[in-house]
Each structure stands twice: as C-alpha cells, then as structure tokens.
Structure 1
Amino acid sequence: MLQNNVNLKVECRKKQGQLLQGIVYMKKLRLTVLHISSWSHSSVLSYCFNLKMEDDCKLESAENITNVAHQIVDKDH
C-alpha cells in the first residue's frame, strides 16, 4: 500500500462469476480497480489488482483490505 494505491494479489479456486462479483463488491467499498492481471494453474486462479482507495473508503490499512479480499473469495456464489 502506497498512499491511496494498493497492490493486491489473491489466489482462489475457480468459481463462475467470482471476478465480476469481486469487482462490484470492491466498488461498493470505494476501491477503484485500475488494473487487473490474472492467470490460472490447475483449478486455482491468481489475480493481481492495482486499486485506488477513494477518499471516502472506510478501509484504513493493508490488513483491512486483505481481510476483505479473503471474505470476497471465500463467499459462496
């Protein structure tokens, strides 16, 4: 995390629609997605997000953002 920019790497099992739902959820949390890279190996997907924390974002630390990322990928869709 640098100022209001965040680089976040997430690894998770493949689920239909998870990327779109994750982006929508991040937008609700006032995190703007600037760039996404993704790759897969076997049944695991890896995403690398470059995010911007908007001024009214309630997440105040890298730990908060990491916890939210885990909640997003652990949700049953």
Structure 2
Amino acid sequence: MQGDQASIVAGAINFVKELEQLLQSLEAQKRRRAQLTSTPPFAGFFTFPQYSAGAGAGTADGSGDAESRRGARPGVADVEVAVAESHASVKVLAPRRPRQLVRMVVAMQCLGLTVLHLNATATADQLVFYSFSLRMEDECRLSTVDEIAAAVHQMVAEVHAGGPC
C-alpha cells in the first residue's frame, strides 16, 4: 500500500514537471511570435522608404517602426529608391501576386529603366521582397527618387488591384 502511494506521488510530481516544461515552451513560442509580428520581415532592409504599407500603423504597443517608416507615405507596399548618377537601387516589399515580377520588369522597361540585376525573396506569409539594380536610360523621364518610387508604387498598386496585364 505504501509503495502504491509513493508511485502515485512520484507520478504526480513528474506530471507537474512536464506541465511546467510545457508552459515554459509555450511562453517562449508566444515571445517569438510577438517579436515576429512586431517586426515586419525585411524591415532592416529599408532605411527611409518613400512608401510603406505600414505607414501610420503602429505595433501592438502603439509605437510603430518609426526608424524605418519616418516620412513614408502610405501604400500597398514598402518602396525605397536610391539614385546615384544614372543608376537606381529599388527595394520593394509587397504582397505576392501572380505575374507581379514580370509585369514590374516590363513596366520599368517602358519607363526607360533597364534591369541590371534583381533579387526576389518570398516569405512564408505571402510577401515578396524585390531588390532591383536599374540603369536609367537616356529616354527615361524619371529623374528623382520620388518620381521613381511613385512609378514603382503605382506598378505594384495596379498588380495588387488586378489591373490589365
């Protein structure tokens, strides 16, 4: 009888220890999820975006990502452009859509922007990060970072809205 009680108590102690480990694991997962949702993917890649899907929106604590969103206009995607002489660097973080990249490259060519190099990285939550290295051809009528950012933002907005191919 005494042995049965001891094994029951030992079993209960082991069960409580397992519950404590499970609780710690769940708390760690909760912290990881909170960090992931408060920091958008690729947030570190944008210094001063001209457009931001998160502009004006805050995180759960209301703070927002002020460093990377300062001065950004609201939009359907994060768009940041830097220009040096006749070359432009364009970064875009947008919801993934069918034929989006092809349509953007064609639209850039129509504007006199030649794609020299591009990187595309998809995330698990249906976002895609594009990084373009562009040459501004002589016929390109866009000359400032704001003009290029507005044109790229408009491209993404048209694809997002399901505009004509």
TM-score where L is the length of structure 2: 0.46
Confirm or deny that 1:13 pairs with 2:76.
Answer: no
Separation in structure 1 between the aligned mates of residue 147 and residue 109 of structure 2, nearest angstrom: 15
Return the structure number with greater relative CO, CA threshold 8 A, min gap 6: 1
The list of structure 1 runs, each at least 4 consecutive aligned residues, that deviate by more than 2 angstroms after superposition, is: none
More strand by share: 1
User: Unaligned regions of 5+ residues in structure 1, if any?
Assistant: none
**Identical pairs, percent:** 31
CA RMSD of aligned residues (A): 0.7
Shift of residue 40, structure 1, vs aligned partner? 1.4
Larger Rg: 2
Of 137, 146, 151, 1:68 maps to 151
Match of 1:49 in 2: 132
Match of 2:119 in 1: 37
- Return the letter of the residue paired with 2:118: I
Alignment size in residue pairs: 77
Of 100, 108, 117, 1:26 maps to 108
Shift of residue 56, structure 1, vs aligned partner? 1.3
TM-score where L is the length of structure 1: 0.96
Separation in structure 1 between the aligned mates of residue 107 and residue 120 of structure 2, nearest angstrom: 18
Separation in structure 2 between the aligned mates of residue 69 and residue 38 of structure 1, nearest angstrom: 15
3-state DSSP of counterpart to 1:71: helix
More helix by share: 2
